[in-house]
Each structure stands twice: as structure tokens, then as C-alpha cells.
Amino acid sequence: MTEAEGIRLQKVLANAGVASRRVSEQLIVEGRVRVNGTVVTELGTRIDPEKDLVDVDGTAVQLDTTKRYVMLNKPTGVVSTMKDDRGRTDLRRFTREWEERLYNVGRLDADTSGLLVLTNDGELAHVLAHPSFGVTKVYIAKVEGRVTPQTIAKLTRGIELEDGPIAADKARLLDTSGDSSLVELTLHSGRNRIVRRMMAAVGHPVLELVRRQFGPLHLGTLPVGQTRELTKVERGALLTLSRRETDAPPADGVESPASEEQETS
């Protein structure tokens, strides 16, 4: 690229909403901006926003404005597909307000509610959904019976299922009242209905299940059945994760790619 080609970096940052052009210039001079992994301190630097990757203080900046990122709090009774050939309620009703053709990242089974990402960014969707990248998910499960600390320890120590051993990254007992308990599980597994199968294996079948966190995203107070676009900070966190995982070798000892499209709860 010649000096006359491209767009000045400070203008690109300002257009992306990072900061004003003047503040963006200061960020560049202070060495806080990288282009394609290399620190850039020259104010005259020009880049191609369609090809170059930019980050500020290690957080990726979204330059491609054609990409859309949406969070959905999926209700129960909805299948995680854009068109169900069996006539069940699908995700299309939640994407109608956007012109872009959005797709779900991974799946939640019909009986599970919670955080689901909808996007038209195929590369990011692959990183988030594919089990080899080990993106963590946090679930809250209401289960039958009174869960003991010993059971929580067993979940993190590891249990044997019909398709091999599995261990929660973290497990926490949130509450026990009457004949049920609330358990928080953190997993990076992409195996089919893994939370339900794990809890059933330790004698506490799931009554209700919600996914509260997906990678760096938190469901927060988003009501069931509602959507919202990700904030600039959330988009940056997702893109940073995507670029980091794409550059890194896949984690060892994880599920095969076949589990990518399975319902993971």
C-alpha cells in the first residue's frame, strides 16, 4: 500500500467510535494502538479498514460495520435454528428487525433458556461455537434434591458418561431449599446436553436450566424473549477473543468438531 492509499489511522479509530480524532492521535503517539499485531506510533499511517486488524490497549476494534452482533435471552420452547423443518418455534422471530441475515452461534436445547448470540460474522461464530477453542459457558441449573458439597466436588473432579469422562471447570452450590437446589456450572465442553447429563449422572436431574454467560458476554438483566445489540465494549471483547483463539493452536483433549452443532446444554 502506498502512502496515498488507505485511510489515516486516527480517522479510522474516530469513525469506529474509539475516541475523537484528537484523542485517537494521542493513543497512537502513546504506542497504545496496533495494526496487524504491530505497534504504530506514526500519525501519518494509513490502513485499509476492510483488511487490516486494529486493536487499542489489546482490545480489538470493530472496523467492518457490515457485521452485526446481537444477544438474545432465548425462551424455553424455542429451537435453536433459523428454520425448523418440523414446524417448531424457531429463532426467526427474533431477527426480523435487522436487515442482515443473522445466524445463531451454537445452540441451546428447546428446554433451556438464556444467552444466545446471533451474528452474520461467520469467522467469529466458528471460534465461539467450536469446542476446540474452549470458550466457557456458565449455566444455572435448578435440580431435583439437595445437592451436597461432596457432589459439587465430584462435578469438578470428573465423572464418567457414556461418551467419555467430563469435568466442570467450576461448580458452585447457590441455594438449597425444600427438595431442590440451584447449581452454577462453568464448562467449555460442546457435548450434547452436557449439563443435563452431568447432573443426572450425580443423581440430581435438571428441572430448569438457563445459560447466564457465554465467553465474555453476560446475560445481565435482559428479559426473556428480548434481544439487544452488543455494546462496543462487548464487541471488542468478542473480537479480541476471536483473534486470539484463531492465532493460537486448538486446545488438547477436547471434543471432536462433530459436536460443534450439537445442543450443548
Query: Of the candidates 74, 138, 112, 107, which has an alpha carbon nearest to the alpha carbon of residue 208?
Result: 112
Q: Do 141 and 199 contact (CB within 8 A), yes or no?
A: yes
Which grid cell is 39? Answer: 505497534
Catalytic residues: 109
**How far apart are alpha carbons 204 and 196 in whole angstroms?**
9
Q: What's the CA gap between 187 and 136, in Å, rounded?
A: 5
> C-alpha grid cell for residue 99?
436487515
Tell the residue number behind the cell numbers 458476554, with chain if given: 217
- Residue type at 64 in one-letter notation: D
Closest CA to 140 of 199, 216, 188, 70: 199
Cα–Cα distances in angstroms (integers) from residue 231 to residues 13, 171, 173, 244, 259, in the given order: 16, 29, 31, 20, 29
